[in-house]
Each structure stands twice: as C-alpha cells, then as structure tokens.
Structure 1
Amino acid sequence: MFKNQTYIEKNRQRIPSLLVYISLFLTLMGCSLSNSTEPTIKNSSSPEAKVVSSITMDSYDKAIELNPNDADAYFNRGVVYHQQGKCEQALADFNKAIELNPKNTDAYLNRGNVYNCQGKYQQAITDYTKTIELNPNNFNAHLKRGDIYYQQEKYEQALADFNKAIKLNPNDSNPYNNRGLVYYKQKKYEQALTDFNKAIKLNPNDSNPYNSRGNLYLDLGKYEQALADFNKAIELNPDDYNPYNNRGLVYYKQKKYEQALTNYNKAIEVNPNFVHSYKNRGALYSDLGKYEQALADFNKAIKVNPNLANSYYNRGLFYHKHKEYEQALANYNQAIKLEPNYANAYYNRAEISNHIGQYQKALNDYNTAIKLNPNSSSLYLSRGHLYKKQKNYQQAIIDYNKAIELNPNDADTYYSRAIFYNHQGDSEKALADYTQAIQLNPEFIAAYNNRGLVYYKQKKYEQALADFNQAIQIYPYFVFAHINRGKIYDKQRKYEQALADFNKAIQLAPNYASAYYSRGRTYYKQEKYEQALADFNKVIQLKPNYVNVHYRRGYVYYKQEKYEQALVDFNKAIEIHPNDAYAYYRRGRIYYKQEKYEQALFDFNKVIQLKPNYVNAHFSRGRIYHKQRKYEQALADYTKVIQLDQNDGSAYYNRGLIEKNQGNIQQAIKDFEKSGNLYKQQGNQEYYQDALNQLKQLR
C-alpha cells in the first residue's frame, strides 16, 4: 500500500509581500536653482516674490531690447522664467546666454537644472559636466550631477561627485547627507551612518539628514531610533510629507496599524500627489483585508503618475495575492513595458506562468530576471523548483547549489535542496541540508518535521521523535508534527499516545483528512472497527477520491465479513488507481471467500502482473489451483512462494499435500518436515501438529 507521509514544501517567495516604500530624497533636488554670481531668487510662490519677479522681468526685457547681445540679461530672465515654471522660455534664454557667452558656467548649470526638472537626465548631466569642465571647483554642479547618478543607480559615479563636493565645501551638510544615501543603497551602513551624523552635526536644523538616518535605522530594525529621527524631522519641517510616510512604515513594521494609517493619511494630506504613500497605504489596507480601499489606493498611485513602473508592479502583486492572475499579468506586463529591466516583474510573471502550467514562459522570465539580477539567490531557487517540476534534475541541482553559493546563510535554500535530495532518494544529503537549515534557524519547525520524516523512513524512530517533539515544543499548533509523531507512536504500538496526537491534530484542523485517516488506522490496529469506520467515512467525505482510505475501509469490512461493502470499496480503489495491486489482492481474497474462483484468479493474476514477486498473491492463486486440482499450476505457485520466502511453512505444507497426492512420497516428507520445523520455530502448535500427522501417515 502506498505510504502516507506528511512532507512540507514551503512556497518560497511565490508572492512577495506588497512593497512598502520609504522616502529617500537627496537634499538638493534637480529643480532647485543655482546662481553663483548673484543671490538665489526667492521662491515665486510668495506674493513678494511675484512682485519682484514682475519688476525684474520688465527690467530684463528692457535690457535685452536695448542690447540684444546682453548674455547676463538673457541668463537672469531665464532664471525668472524657471522660477515661474516656464521651462521652455527658460531654456530658450539659457540657450541664448550660452550662445552669446559659451563660457558662462551659471548658464550651463541652470540649463542643466531645467533639464533635470523635465526628466531629461542625460542632457542635464551633459550641462553639469560642461560646468565642471569650465570650473572644476563648482560645488553645485558636482552635487547635482551626483544627484542624477544616484537616481540612475550609478553609485560609484555619484560617490565621486559627492566626495568632490565635500572636498570643495567640507562644512556643507548636503553632500554628506547625499553620500550617506549612496552608502545606504550599497548597504554600507556604518559609512552611511557616519555621513548622516556628520550632516546633522553641521546643520542640526535640517530635517533631511534626520529623515535619511531614520530610514537607515528602519532598515536595521532599530524602530525606536527610527521613530525618534522621523519625529525630529517632522518637528523641524512639519510640511515635509516624507517623514510622515516613513514614520508610518515604522508603525507598520510594529503592527501598529492605526498609527501607520494616520501617518500615511497625513503624508497624503500634505502632498495629495505623493505616490509612495498611496502604495504604502494600499499595502496596509490589503493586510487588513480592506481590499476595495487597497485597490483604490493602488489605482490612485497610477493615476497620479501613470509612468511609474513600480506602481503597476505593486498593483500586480495585489492581484497576484488574490489569485486574479489575468489582472496580475496585465500589470506586470505594463511594469516591464515601462521599465524593461525590471527584474522583480519578470520574476513574478514567471511565478504566475509556473503556477498555471506555462512552463516555457516561466523559464524564459526566470532566465531574464537572473540575467538582470545575477546575484539573487531566490531567482535561482525558483528556477531550480521549475527544473525539478520538469524532471530536469541536473539543472535543478545546479540552480540550488548556485542559490546556496550566493546566500550560504539562508536556511530556506538548504531546506529546499534537502527536499530535492529526499525526492531523489539521497537521504544522507537531505539530512545534512535539513541539519544545516536548523543550525542557521533553530526555530525552523518545517525543517525539524522533514528531518524527522527522513529518520522515520530510516527506522530511526527515536531521532525522528526528537525532531517532532522539538517542532511541537517550538509551535504546539503544528498539525503535521502531531500527525507524524502519532505515526511513530503507532509504529511502536503506543496506541494511546498515537491517538492523543491524532486527536490534537483533528482539534487543530477539523477538516484535515490525513489526521482522520491516521487515527482510523490506529483504531483498526486496536480492533476498534466501528471507530475506525467512522474516521474512514469522514476521510471519504473530505476526500472522496483518496484511494488509501477506500482500501482501508474495505479491509475493515472484510474483517467484519461484510464482503459486499468491502467489494464496493476495493472496486472504488481500483477505479481511482487501476494499478493498485493491493486492492486487486484484497478483492481477490473476497472472491475466494465467496468461492468465486474465476474472479479471484483474475485478480490474483493482475496482482502478479503488477508485482511479480508478491508472495501472498502467488500463495492465494496456488490455493485456487489446488482446489481446482490444477496441481502443476498450484505446485508452480507454491514453489515460487518458497523461492521468495523460505520461512513460509504453509507453502511447504501445501506443496507437500500435492506431492503426497501425486505419489512423490520422499518430496512430500521433505516438505512436511520443513513446514513442521518452521511451525515449531514460529510457535504455531496447531499447524506443527498437522505436519507431524502427515509425516506419521507417510512413514
């Protein structure tokens, strides 16, 4: 009969958590204005500035009218246009200023700022670079070019610019903050912290470094320190939406959902177009089961900025989580369209393709994701799972090994490779990997459970018990461990302890068929047939096509001599599993009991066809041939039984009867002697006496 074992295969990163976004901003953004030759113009949002702008605009218009070759007038008017948000007019004036004075560094710098605001980053970099060529010591040009390199994830180039800015002005806090953000992205946390601390020391009234340091603490799980920094940032600048968003993330991590929601709401109130807070609030609503509100926020994030790939990606994750695969795929597709190098989008699209059986599509996307992110262990792990599913075991183990090489301290990866080795029948390698997973994560209950099952298969029951005990000690509600421990107690004939575990499993999971099945088997061994039947009936109610339970219930009916009910179950078992030799054997036994010998022969022949060395089938078929006086065929079956099991006294005895009937007295005596010795060794006094009686008749 097929064994029923409860292995756990974890869903490894099938659907990542909905993304949460921290707000990381460089201190000087590209849309700010820089002018090294005259004071920075005030922000045009104030009434005073509008008056000044109007006055200065008239002055610059008049100056240009009087002298069309006045480069400074064009430059200054361009500054005003930019301040008013009139980017095209600003560009036209900066272009003219540069045409008239190709060495005007301020014109290049401010034209770069306009391009930066328009998202034309390469043109902005070109202008900042020209500024630096003309004036290698231009602090703002290095700072702003470093800003763009940071946004483009060109971290080494960004570092070079921020280092230069610090060298040029070591008392300015901004480049320290910005360099700290680069180190943060590179996971060089000590260096990042040093820079954030320096920025705060230089300018303790600037909220930005507090926000940056708070994000670092958040990433390190130091939530109280993160909260302190976000609180300080809000105190210094209550109109900055970033620290509200980030403080919301701390509360989210702490499962203080109401406070998280309050902060996301505040960030959105301060800036109704702040995409990150919509996405974070959507993730929170999703966790709280408020799916309509979650979807509304993801939709709002896309409406605010329809060109942001990760907004579609996050909405895709939402649909993915709720198994709405078509919508999820549509969103992943859009994310990839907007950002063709979006590795995570390829990965999750692959996960859906894998789930719905489109394996080649899944493999293509895993390959692309790995090409884009070759250092991600989880990508190799998932592709390894796909190869295993396709029975491409050689490629699967290559990927599992690569995942471990990339992340040798990841318990989950060892756990997955252990499952692979176990499926391949390599118990020792499986044990080694489960043990390594447990060493890396001593609370890894699934690893204890599965290692216990390997020991169970090796009949190392005490070691298996130790693992199941440990899993249950860590997590008393672990259903699988209770069932598996119960099976060991059952093997050891500690039936009451086995029943206690099966009862606990049923209490924890009232609709888990395996628990009822296991308890039913124990009741059967205790000959508590009615209780066994009740459990097997429950299993069939929960899983009507569970072949094992039909076999087991049929056997209970057989023991109760309810042959017609037993036949119904064995027929069902054969219908579900047409190659189940044991079901044919049991049905054959019933037909034998009912003296339906031809039907019984059909079933025993089928068993032998499926399992040529199944001793009981040969013996049973031999008995039918014996009854039908087909002695040669009976002799052949009894002889086969003896070849397969030299300790089967009944095969010798029955063969002796045929030899006696055919006059082969010496051979009969040998068989009766052998059977008698075996019965005596086995303590079967009745059969031993029968053998002696036969010998008395022949001697």
Structure 2
Amino acid sequence: MNYQKNNRIYRPALLLLGLLSCGFTWGTPAKDPCVEAGEAVQEITRLSSADERLEAEKKVEKLCAGGGAAHYLKGLALEAAQRKEEAVEEYRTAVKQEPKLAEAHGRLGLLLFEKGAREEASVELFEASKSKADPAYARALGDIFQAAQLYALALSQYQQALPQSGNDAKLRVGMARGYLGLGDRAKARDLLVEALRLDPASLSARLELAEIYQGDKRYQEALEQLRQAGTAHPGDRDIHFRLARLLDLMGEAKLADAQYRQAGMERASSPEDHMKKAALYQQGTAFLKAAREYQALLLKQPDAPGVREKLGDALLAAGHDGEAIAAYGEALRRKEGSSAVLYNLGTLYERKGDLDQAMRNFSEAIRLDPENGDARRRLADIHSVRGDSDAAIAQYRELVSRHGDNPLSYYKLARLYEQDRKYSEAIAAYAKAIELDKDSEVAHQGIARLYLKRKQPEEAEKHLVEVLRLDPKHAEARELLISLYVKARRYDDTVKLLKTSAELNPESANDQYRLGVIYAFRGINDGAREQYQKALALKPDHARALNALGKLYLRIGEKEKAREALAAARKADPDLLEPVELLSKLDLKKQQKKQEYRKHHAKKTKGKKVSKEHKGKSKKKKGRR
C-alpha cells in the first residue's frame, strides 16, 4: 500500500479529489424550454377541459416535444382511454425526466395503488403531496397506511382529505377503522353512525357498527344493524354467520342454527369440533374464520383454558389489532398469560405508539422467559429510540450472550456502540457480525466507516471492496474508495473504479464527466474529450463538463472551441466562476494581441514615412548641386 503515513495530501491529488467529489450544477437558464413546458402543464389535470389540454399540448410540442411534460400529457390521454398500463409507463418517464411534475407523480401513485403496488404507490403519492395538496392523494395514502396497520399515520391522511370529502361515507368508515386500530371505540362508533347517515346502504359501516355494539354488549342494537344488512344483502353468507354468532351469544340457539344453515355451515356440536375447524382455517390462512370458531367455542365454554391466546393469535394475524388486544388482555386476567402472549401484546401496543405499555409487556415477557430474544430485541430498540443507549446496549449484550450466532444482533450492538462513540467495542462487534455472515453488506460498510474515522485506510479499503463485491452499484462505498485511492495517488485504481461506475450508470452524465476528469488529470486528452462529450450528450447543459471541455481545448491550443465551450458553461451555470475567469483571460490575451499588432503596424508605417522623407531630402540636395 502507498498510503501516506502522515496527513499531508499533495496539492494535485487534492485538486483532483475536489473535482471528483463535487457533482455538477444543473443550472437554470433564463428560458429553458423544457422548464417552461413543465410550467405549462402544472395546472393540467384529468379534470381540465379539452380546450385547456389541447392548448397545453400545442405549447409543449413547440417548447420541448420529448420532455417530461409531453409524456405526462400522453399519460393523461392513455388513462382517459382506459389504457392504464401504458399510462403508468408514460407517467414513469415523465417523472424521471421532470421530477417536479407533482401531478404526474400523483397520477402514477394512484394507478399503482389501484394495481396493488402499495409500497411504490406510497413513494409517488408522498412526492406529489409535498408539492400539491390533493384529497385523492391523502385518501390513497391513508388507505395504504391503514393496510399496513399504521393507524395514526392513516388518520392524519384521512383528516387532510376530510374537508373536501364532506359527504363521503367511505372516508368515515376508513377513519373509524383507524380509531378502532388505536383502541378508541367511541370515536369509531360516532364516525360509523355518521357514515350511515350519509349512505344508509353502506354495508361496511353497518357491519363495523354491529361489531362495536356487540363488543359493548349492546346486543339488540347489534342485531338491528345485522338484520338491516341481511335484508339488503340476503345472499351474503358472512352476514348470516355474524347473525348466528350473535344469536348464540344471546342464547337464541334455534335462531342461531337457522342462520348457520343459511351461512352454508354445519354448526359444530362440540368444543372439539370448533377447535378442529379453527385449526383447519388457520392452516389455510383464513384467520378471521378461525377466530370466529374460537369465539363460538368460548360462548359455550367461557372457561376453556388457552383458547383466548389462540383467539388473540388469530385476530392478530387477521389484522384486527383492537380485538386481539382485548383477547390477550382477557387471557392475562384469567391467569392464562405466557411470554408469547406478553410479547404479542407488546408488539400491538408498539404498533399503536403506546411505547410505555409495549415496554412493560416486553419486560414481563423476558421475566417469564429470559430466552425470548424477540422481546429482548424489541425492548432494546425502544430504549434506543428513546435515547437510552446504555439500556439498549445492556439488552443487546445479554442477547448476544444467549444467542451468539445471530449476526444481526452483533450488527445492532455495533451501531449502538458507534452512536455512543465506543469505537473499539463497535469495531469488535462489527467484526463478529462479519465473522458470522461474511456477506453482511451493512456490517462491512459500518466497520469501514469506523476505520476511516480512526485513520486506518488500509483496513477500510478491505471492507469497502467487499461492499462493492456485494453491491457493485453502492455509490457511497465507491466514493469512499475513490477518495482513498486519490489521496494515496493510486490513479490506476481510481480509473478502474470510475470506468466501472460509468459502465454501470450509462445514463448518468455525472459519472461520464468524472471519468473524463481523471483522464484529463493523467493527460489522456482523447479519452477525456470523449467522456465529456458523452456527458453532454446525456445532459447538454452540464456546466462542469462544458467547463472541463473548454479547459481541455485550451490545453491543446484550440482556442475558438474553448471559447465556445466556456461560454456555454457560463450560460448553463452563471454561478460557476471558472469559465468566467478563463473567458476573461482569453479576451484579455486577444486584446493584448490586437494592441501588439497595432503597435507593430504603427512602427512599420512610421518607418516607411521616415524612409520616404529621407529619399525626398536626398533628391533636393542633388538638384542644388
């Protein structure tokens, strides 16, 4: 290794590192036609009139026919024609070319949500909502968060959509489910009553309201809601099953039997039958049906041991968090608790955001079973979130002492040590994580970061190379390695890294430009020019590439080409000082040459005049003689 033992960095290497480390300024030309095109479609939506869209299309065609705005308008047309897959692709292209098109992000997000691609949809909808408040975006984000059981986030989005959704019963049902998830049954009930006022035919509102009434032991009101639902939907087996379960609870066995038959189910005659059916439902992931069997069993045998834990598990798997908490809580009250019950309760409270309750349950789960690594890990993570690093470290140290074969535990312990600035302990924990899993990209990255901090570049390099082996496109690892190689003046290695980066990212103007920088630094002029031109083909107003090309032309003596490139760089980024300085020098030299030429020309002219005057005097003298 040729790393310098001291901290001295040679000026040329420092200059090169600066060039390679800085990106480039996109610039804001006075009248960029593609920017104008984007502005022209900012107010164009699916609700815009045909005349407004036609006018926008004409303007965009004239300004920037292949830009993001054009793709956005094409996407709108395709979506209107119900060609949604093609519309998605057009919107994708639009936001790639023009990231500031909020409506394109929004339409893309809504279509992806409709397709079921919720995670990707949430990214696009969030991007759209940053620039443009739209109840449709908020509503969709609320549904996405609701599905992920992030109830508080879901409610915050629904609240944003509420002012412009005054008569929307479905929104009230969504909000009610959010409040149910947070355990606020009263607010949920009020919202469902409001939803039914707005839309008496809302089946989901009736069923949710009946469930709340039943949970509050207001059986007649629950029965009324279910009967109304059954009248409107006589063939719905789920409604008949709900009625059967409620009638069983009310002691109306014969009426319940009739409802079970209409639900297409043979009524289980014994607790054992209920248990068998519940087990079969759970095997087929029909968790809600399994929960119903456990509930039916408990109607007949309220003291059946262990059933409430199974009921809680089924409800948890079905996403009915509030009911699962109630089932687990009842199990604990009946002294049927276990470490698993307490861990699940802790998880549910953590999901609700009640961290105090979560910690109490995780701690009790660990007390009952010190080997419960999941509970210990969750407790440590909450301590970490709350800034109690000592408590978090203590839990993870206990965790690795009991379950020392888990690389993730060592990685998390290393992160905690690092946050606490205990770097030696952090390095040891990262090393153990790597020993257990040599392909742990995050552990290699973490230990490399610490070796750099402790001025140990040779050790850092080994791990950064491993990160790139695992993920060739890992930008941070590549940048750190480039920095190391430049400081050590290992330019061949630097070239290899930059070449690979340019090949992996052929659409990145910056990667092409940076490869050109290292070529220019090493005097490979043809290679540098080729890379700068590649960068400019991808991004014609790449100010730094234009500036670098201008400097290259100056070096090889092509001054007019240099002037042209530098002028373009100044236009692309008026804040970039170097092209201004170089152009001033070029103008100054040109002015000096003109002055020198004029002086030289004046001397020659003066010499000729003197010569003519001398000849004239000679002739006069001869005449006198």
Indicate the structure whose relative CO is greater, using CA pairs within 8 Å and at least 6 residues apart: 2
Higher alpha-carbon Rg: 1
Query: Do the structures match in fold with TM over 0.5?
Result: no
Please classify the TM superposition score into its range, dividing by the shorter chain length: 0.3 to 0.5
